[in-house]
Each structure stands twice: as C-alpha cells, then as structure tokens.
Amino acid sequence: MLDASEGYTTADGRKIGGVVMEMKNITLRFGGVTAITDISFDIREGEIRAIIGPNGAGKSSMLNVISGFYVPQEGEVWFRGAKRPQMKPYEVARQGIARTFQNIALFEGMSVLDNVMTGRLTHMKTGLLSQAIWKGKAEEEETANREVAEKVIDFLEIQHIRKTPVSRLPYGLKKRVELARALAAEPKLLLLDEPMAGMNVEEKEDMSRFILDVNDEFGTTIALIEHDMGVVMDLSDRVVVMDYGKKIGDGSPDEVRNNQDVIDAYLGVAHD
C-alpha cells in the first residue's frame, strides 16, 4: 500500500512521486459555521486526486484553501516541502498553482486567445510602460508567451475559435477555454472545480480525455472536484471523500467505493 514518502505505481503503470502538497489538520470557519473540520490529506506528484462529497460537504471551500483564497483558522498547508505562509491568491498562482472555476470565470468580451494569454500573466516580467511602448523586451516576451498559449490551444483543439469572443461560445467550449487558461500558466498543480458540471455525455468524454492527456503529457498534478461518480472513479488515482466538513474516506476509487461511511453519506442511513 501507500508508503509515506516514496510514492506508488498506479494500475495503469504510471509512477506517482512524493508529496507535493499536504493539508495538515485544516479547520475553516465562517463566523459560527465550521465549513471544514480538522481535515488532513496529501496530493502527490503526478497523480489525479479527486475530492468528492454530497452538496455542502465543503469541497469548494477546501479547493479555495488550497488555492490560497481562504485562510484556515487552524492547520497548515505544506507545498513542496515548505510550510506555506498566508498568501494572496496571485502569490499562490506564482508558486505554480492554477485553477478553473465551478461557474465559468472568463473575460466574456475578450477573444479566446486573449483569455488564454491572461493565463501567462504571472510569467510576464516587463513593466506597464515598456508593454505600452511595445518594443524590445516586451515584444519578445509576448512572442514567447504567445507560443505557449498557441501550444495549449493546439493541445485542447480550440484553434477554430481562437479569435471568437468568449461570450459567443457554448458552455462546453467555455469550460475548455477555462482549462486552456489554467494550462497556459504551466502549473505544477492544477485545481479543477467541477470541470464536467452541466455537460452532456460527449462533452464529458472529451473533457476526461483532455484531463488524462494533460496529466500524461505534461505530468501535471491535478486535484479535482466532481459530482459525476463515473468520471471520478475512472479518472482519479486517489479520492478524498468529505461530508459535513469532515473527511470520511480516503484511498483508491475501489476502497472508497466499498467504504460504508461513504455509502451512507451518499445514500443516506435510516435514523431510528
């Protein structure tokens, strides 16, 4: 089974490395409401880690803690071997964590390409002035960043909408553009908040394919929240199950599927 430091090999033969991110005894409260109670788990290099749970279990809050948007009252977040101090979300982004949102958060009036380019922002170093003048360094930098953006566009097969304003795109494609923007940041850790919500079967299949390809091709570590159990069980290497802010299960999809607490949380139990 799992070794604390070494990592493991998945059923399909992928080597999973050491711990990239570790959540230690996280507790998050909003006033009197405790959203997350004393949760610990880790995310390992190269794995696809799913967080599941019924509505209101605190999954999105957990993701927001990982992305630095929420600061937990108790507990520590360790990222790549160091305890993470309190950070602004953009500082977290600079550390190599990118995310997509449950409700799409793209710039609707901008083209797909421009949206993807915004994912490169953390990689741009030239100042406002030199970018406005558009000479030398700034121009080189934009070209280099555009190249990365174009590779992502090619990877996610959205060339045909490169110049289309996002507002004109159907929902499924917007989701893909959001993934493209996150990928353009070349993240070490990619957080996906319900990447398949509201999609039809075909779109889900496409999205699953892309998630697996991203993991396979770039070795990106992925943490995702998803409601579709079929998708979660097929995609992920390990699953954390939450219910009412508590962790009720953690392990491979098979282990989780057979865990009585998990079954109870999803199907309900008779109260006598």
Partner 1 sequence: MPARESRRWEEKTLVQTSSDAGGLQSIPALLERNVAKYGTFPAYREKEFGIWQSWTWSETAAEIEALALGLINLGVNEGDFIAIIGRNRPYLYWSMVAAQMVGAVPVPLYQDAVAEEMAYVLGHCGARFVIVQDQEQVDKVIEVQDQLHQFEHLIYLDPRGLRKYDHSHLHQFSHVQDQGRAAHDEFITELKARCAKLDYDSTCVMLYTSGTTGKPKGVVLSNRNVIESAKSSSEFDKLRRDDEILAYLPMAWVGDFIFSIGQAYWCGFCVNCPESADTMMTDLREIGPTYYFAPPRVFETQLTTVMIRMEDAGTIKKKMFDHYMAHARKVGPDLLDGKPVGFMDRLKYKIGDLLVYGPLKNTLGFSRVRVGYTAGEAIGPEIFDFYRSLGINLKQLYGQTEATVFITAQPDGEVRSDTVGVPSPGVELKIAENGEVFYRSPGVFVEYYKNPESTADTKDPDGWVATGDAGFIEPETGHLRIIDRAKDVGQMADGSLFAPKYVENKLKFYPNILEAVVFGNNREQCTAFINIDLSAVGNWAERNNIAYASYQELAGHPQVMETIQRHVEEVNASVAEDPMLSGCQVHRFVVLHKELDADDGELTRTRKVRRRIIEEKFADIIAALYDGSNKVSTVTEVTYEDGRKGSIKATLEIREAKVIPVVPQKVAAE
Residues of this chain that interact with partner 1 (CB under 8 A) are: 12-14, 113, 146-147, 150-151, 153-155, 157, 159-160, 162, 209, 212-213, 216-217
Nearer to partner 1, 76 or 140 (CB): 140
CB of 160 to partner 1, least distance (A): 4
Which residue's CB is nearer to partner 1, number 105 or number 201? 201
DSSP for 51-102, written as a single string: EE-STTSSHHHHHHHHTTSS--SEEEEEETTEEPPS--HHHHHHTTEEEE-S
Per-residue burial over 179-200, b if 16 or more Cβ lie within 10 Å, else e, is: bbbbbbbbbbbbbbbbbbbebe
We find the least distance from the C-beta atom of residue 213 to partner 1, in angstroms, to be 5
CB of 167 to partner 1, least distance (A): 18
Q: How far is the CB of 214 from partner 1 (least distance, A)?
A: 11
Residue 20 near residue 43 (C-beta atoms within 8 A): yes
The smaller minimum CB distance to partner 1, of residues 101 and 155, is found at 155
Strands 19-30 and 74-79: antiparallel
Residue closer to partner 1 (CB basis): 2 or 201: 201
Residue whose CB is less far from partner 1, 124 or 212: 212
Quote the least distance from Cβ 40 to partner 1, whole Å: 32
Taking the C-alpha atoms of residue 19 and residue 33, their distance in angstroms, rounded to an integer, is 30
Alpha-carbon span 267 to 263, nearest angstrom = 6
